[in-house]
């Protein structure tokens, strides 16, 4: 699985003008299931994100996790993280099939919640509008294959 995480002061996701999920301080997690991904990989990714120390401590060092700062996660499905960009038009053939992608997306969000985080989500497969205030900015790419 792949994820692009952004430390945020706030973030929200809307579909057709209706806000589906929003958080204050925490993480915006854009996540993509790849072909062959499993629940075990989703579990591993969720555990890593919950423990990743990218929030500032009292010495202004990135030394605290989202759990340590009582932050939340906004989880948004993003199949375009599977983009193959050899040419000028990206291909997405390495992304999981939609039914697998949805299952793993929902499993991942549930696992993050089981890690002790308040979790808000978008809608799998929808045309979503995501807004955020990136804090730092801090943006980190994670891939269970690397």
Q: What is the pLDDT of residue 146?
A: 75
Q: What is the pLDDT of residue 90?
A: 94
> Phi and psi dihedrals of 51, rounded to 5?
-100, -10
Burial of residue 110 (number of CB atoms within 10 Å: 0-12, 13-18, 19+): middle
Q: What is the DSSP string of 31-67?
A: EEPBTT--HHHHHHHHHHHHH---EE-TTSSEEE-TT
Quickly state the pLDDT bin for 145 (edges 50, 70, 90). confident
Candidates 6, 41, 78, 121; catalytic one: 78
Query: What CATH number is attached to the domain comprising 26?
Result: 3.50.80.10
> Phi and psi dihedrals of 82, rounded to 5?
-90, 5
Helices (H), the chain: 39-51, 98-114
Q: Give yes or no: 139 in active site.
A: no
Q: What is the pLDDT of residue 78?
A: 95
Candidates 6, 79, 108, 121; catalytic one: 79
Q: Give the whole-number percent of the chain exceeding pLDDT 70.
A: 100
Residue range of the domain that includes 90: 2-143
Distance CA 65, CA 62 (A): 9
28-58 tens-digit pLDDT = 999 999 999 999 999 999 999 999 999 999 9
The CA-based angle 74-140-22, given to 5 degrees, is: 15
Number of other CB atoms surrounding residue 40 within 10 Å: 9
114-127 tens-digit pLDDT = 999 999 999 999 99
Q: Give yes or no: 78 in active site.
A: yes
- Please give the tally of structural domains in the chain: 1
Q: What's the mean pLDDT when you consider all of the chain?
A: 97
Q: Give the whole-number percent of the chain exceeding pLDDT 90.
A: 97
Calculate mean pLDDT across residues 1-9.
Answer: 98
Q: Give yes or no: 79 in active site.
A: yes
Q: What is the pLDDT of residue 56?
A: 97
Torsion-angle region of 81 (φ positive above 0: left; ψ -120 to 50: alpha; else: beta): alpha
What length is written for the chain?
A: 146
Calculate mean pLDDT across residues 122-146.
Answer: 95
């Amino acid at each position: 699985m792949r994820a692009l995480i952004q430390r945020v002061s706030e973030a929200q996701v809307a579909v057709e003008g209706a806000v589906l999920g929003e958080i204050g301080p925490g993480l915006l997690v854009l996540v993509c299931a790849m072909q062959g991904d499993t629940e075990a990989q989703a579990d591993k990714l969720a555990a890593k994100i919950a423990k990743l120390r990218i929030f500032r401590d009292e010495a202004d060092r990135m030394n605290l996790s989202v759990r340590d700062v009582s932050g939340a996660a906004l989880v948004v499905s993003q199949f375009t993280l599977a983009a193959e960009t050899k040419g000028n038009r990206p291909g997405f053939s390495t992304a999981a099939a939609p039914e697998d992608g949805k299952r793993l997306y929902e499993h991942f969000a549930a696992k993050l919640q089981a890690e002790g985080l308040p979790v808000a989500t978008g809608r799998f497969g929808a045309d979503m509008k995501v807004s955020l205030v990136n804090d730092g900015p801090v943006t980190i790419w994670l891939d269970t294959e690397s």
